[in-house]
Amino acid sequence: MNYTMCWLEYRKLPENTISNLKDWFSSVSILESDASALKNEIREFSEKSLDITPRFHSRPLKKKKYIMIGSLDSLPFGIEEDPGEEGFILRTQNWNGSKILVVTGKTKRSLVYAVFDLIRRIRLGEDIEKMNVLEKPKAKFRMLNHWDNLDGSVERGYAGNSIFFKDNRIIVNQRTRDYARLLASIGINGVVINNVNVKKQEVLLIEPVYLKKLKRLADLFREYGIRLYLSINFASPMYLGGLDTADPLDERVARWWREKAREIYDYIPDFGGFLVKADSEFNPGPHMFGRDHAEGANMLARALAPFGGVVIWRAFVYNCLQDWRDYKTDRARAAYDNFKPLDGKFDDNVIVQIKYGPMDFQVREPVNPLFGGLEKTNQILELQITQEYTGQQIHLCFLGTLWKEILEFDTFAKGKGSYVKRIVDGTLFGRENNGFAGVSNVGDSVNWTGHDLAQANLYAFGKLAWNPDEDIEKIVEDWIRLTFGDDRKVLENVSYMLLKSHRTYEKYTTPFGLGWMVNPGHHYGPNPEGYEYSKWGTYHRANWEAIGVDRTSRGTGYTLQYHSPWREIFDDINTCPEDLLLFFHRVRYDHRLKSGKTLIQAMYDLHFEGVEEVEKFIRKWEELKDRVPYDVFERVRERLHTQLEHAKEWRDVINTYFYRRTGIPDEKGRKIYP
Ligand code: GCU
């Protein structure tokens, strides 16, 4: 095997633990037919961690202790609690003269989750004799979006090539299965395998030439409770159907999609549905035909509805041909301006997928005001696991802490307590079809994610999607222990590094909600005016005295898209959270912050601090030599050193930019490099 298994790397457990567990795992009763994924996982774990090969039985046993796995219907006794469609129960109890650990749930998928969770708990040292767990996922949709192209490249991918595609062919192999295992172990239940930008070759994915192989992929995913989804091109009826239009209100177009849906479901009966990037960054959409997003999405949704599919429609819609001299258009307003008027107009099997912020996955943005703005529309929160703007998996940047802040943001849509997490889990507005999507950071590199520690981002995404209330420190701790074992020093140092890393990255790049300042195109490395005079609408408009866009009620009016009290808080430079100051306000460099520092001085200080923190990460990592596997140690060490070099470059380029703009020297007399 030429890749690691991340947090599923089953290492041998200590002897004293093993001796107790052996009894439990030597015979396992599985009351399900077709349980190969469950057996496979239990066997893997038992052989690698317990040094035994379990025997499987299809009936209850006569034995002192054993594990009994089966759906609620199949159990020889009743269980009162309702774990829902995807939840599960793990419980040790006495039955028929035996002590049994019951592993149960309603559906096949829930049993998969149950088995992975049982193994996780055991590896983390929980006592099997006292097991008593009822777990239910909070959100219904817990998806990964791959931006993979059929030629094997990955848009914004920093971990090698696609694991799904190569040379216009679809790959289904052992690695696909192992990927499904990784995803099932963190509760992911849907995967979009191709890029939202659906180009010429990818348009063909919904044609029989590809559907045959996609069926095999879907069959494999199904064993692990994962549904397959595809990104589609809205103009497919023109590309594939020979029609002269893709107008959603044209009956020929609607019929073409209905027939296409039937064809897809003939191959894949549990096909999840379509992800659509429409009228966005040159992708076709209903606007081209004078129709709105609801008309476009509903037409597709009606084609999929008879088969139980959904349409996931992205809200990432803005004018990407803005003139920098145009001060009226504000890209930050675009998602809300486009979608708020359509609230309530989408069919029930349409879900609007909204990026966490109003711009584009910057290191910090305010929460997109569509969260709390939309009340009668299903919603998915889109997060970017791949580190496009956060160091491209060269820099250590754990995103779980940022995501947690987003989830805990109180929108005040229905008064206090209207958290984003309660919107995406569907409870705030009583909606069922809500959830999470994460743009995947996975490729075919040996460690899946390029940077070994970036595996933690994938893990944390799944865990938060399953339960956004979970403590992020606990998620980090579990990930470290599952990945590296129980060394206290490793736990201490790696959690220090992960939990601080996002803030550190923010400090040496673009603090105060400034964002951008990256090199255009590939988005790596500093370039303060890289996007200043281009068409993408991402300006900071710095001059000699001030920087930032006035997005208040006196400016573009963006703050008015929020509920009170946020609109007032953001609107006032004195109450606006300082880490978002330059997102909402145009601020003079000599503006005094709460700390008493001027903005410019704080800007300098943060950049120096950020670099010092990376130096500290390196010291912390060096302490772990011989405590983590040698190859992991070396790979991470190398990346940390590159990070340090690049952090210095960020510090110097950004500080110099401000120094030369303002002529205001650093109070501490440090050298600001040319
Ligand atoms: C960003 C990213 C693109 C991507 C787009 C999207 O702009 O740079 O590569 O296609 O987001 O989310 O659609």
Amino acid 673: pLDDT: 84
d(CA 447, CA 182): 12
120 CA distance to ligand 1 middle (Å):
35
The reply to whether ligand 1 has any atom less than 6 angstroms from the CB of 360 is: yes
Of ligand 1's listed atoms, the one at least distance from the Cα of 280 is 13
The tokens describing 362, both together, are 């910057």
Q: Which of 499, 351, 484 is nearest to 429 (CA)?
A: 351
The reply to whether ligand 1 has any atom less than 6 angstroms from the CB of 361 is: no
Residue with tokens 């997109």: 368
Catalytic residues: 281, 360, 388
d(CA 426, CA 398): 26
The answer on pLDDT for 610 being more than 90 is yes
Domain with CATH 3.20.20.80 in the chain: 142-470
The answer on pLDDT for 645 being more than 80 is yes
- 374: confidence class by pLDDT, cuts 50, 70, 90: very high
Domain with CATH 3.30.379.10 in the chain: 6-135
Of ligand 1's listed atoms, the one at least distance from the Cα of 155 is 9
Q: At CA 621, angle to CA 484 and CA 508, rounded to 5?
A: 120
The answer on pLDDT for 533 being more than 80 is yes
The reply to whether ligand 1 has any atom less than 6 angstroms from the CB of 155 is: yes
The answer on pLDDT for 662 being more than 80 is yes
The answer on pLDDT for 660 being more than 80 is yes
Nearest CA to ligand 1 atom 12: 316
| Strand runs labelled E in 37-97 | 55-57, 65-69, 88-95
**Percentage with pLDDT > 90 across the chain:** 99
195 CA distance to ligand 1 middle (Å):
10
For the chain, give the mean pLDDT. Answer: 97
The answer on pLDDT for 674 being more than 90 is no
Averaged pLDDT, 149-174: 98
Amino acid 1: pLDDT: 75
Of ligand 1's listed atoms, the one at least distance from the Cα of 147 is 10
CATH architecture of the domain 6-135 equals 2-Layer Sandwich (3.30)
Domain with CATH 3.90.1330.10 in the chain: 471-549+586-674
- 666: confidence class by pLDDT, cuts 50, 70, 90: very high
The set of residues, in sequence order, having a beta carbon less than 8 Å from that of 148 and lying 6+ positions away, is 154, 155, 157, 162, 163, 164, 165, 193, 194, 195
Amino acid 40: pLDDT: 98
The reply to whether ligand 1 has any atom less than 6 angstroms from the CB of 531 is: no
Amino acid 150: pLDDT: 98
Quick check: 518 and 389 in contact, CB under 8 A? yes
Quick check: 490 and 480 in contact, CB under 8 A? yes
Amino acid 41: pLDDT: 98
The reply to whether ligand 1 has any atom less than 6 angstroms from the CB of 382 is: no
CATH architecture of the domain 142-470 equals Alpha-Beta Barrel (3.20)
- 477: confidence class by pLDDT, cuts 50, 70, 90: very high
User: Can you list the alpha helix ranges (DSSP code H) found in 247-369?
Assistant: 251-267, 293-304, 334-339
Quick check: 268 and 305 in contact, CB under 8 A? no
- 653: confidence class by pLDDT, cuts 50, 70, 90: very high
Quick check: 69 and 43 in contact, CB under 8 A? no
54 CA distance to ligand 1 middle (Å):
47
Nearest CA to ligand 1 atom 13: 196
The reply to whether ligand 1 has any atom less than 6 angstroms from the CB of 316 is: yes
Q: Cα-flanking dihedrals φ and ψ of residue 232, to 5°?
A: -125, 160
| CATH code for residues 471-549+586-674 | 3.90.1330.10
Q: What is the DSSP code (8-state) at residue 167?
A: T
Amino acid 402: pLDDT: 98
Residue from 149, 231, 280, 388 to probe ligand 1 pocket by mutation (most atoms less than 8 Å from CB)? 388
Averaged pLDDT, 296-316: 98
The answer on pLDDT for 323 being more than 90 is yes
Q: Which of 512, 463, 455 is nearest to 639 (CA)?
A: 455
The reply to whether ligand 1 has any atom less than 6 angstroms from the CB of 276 is: no
The answer on pLDDT for 516 being more than 80 is yes
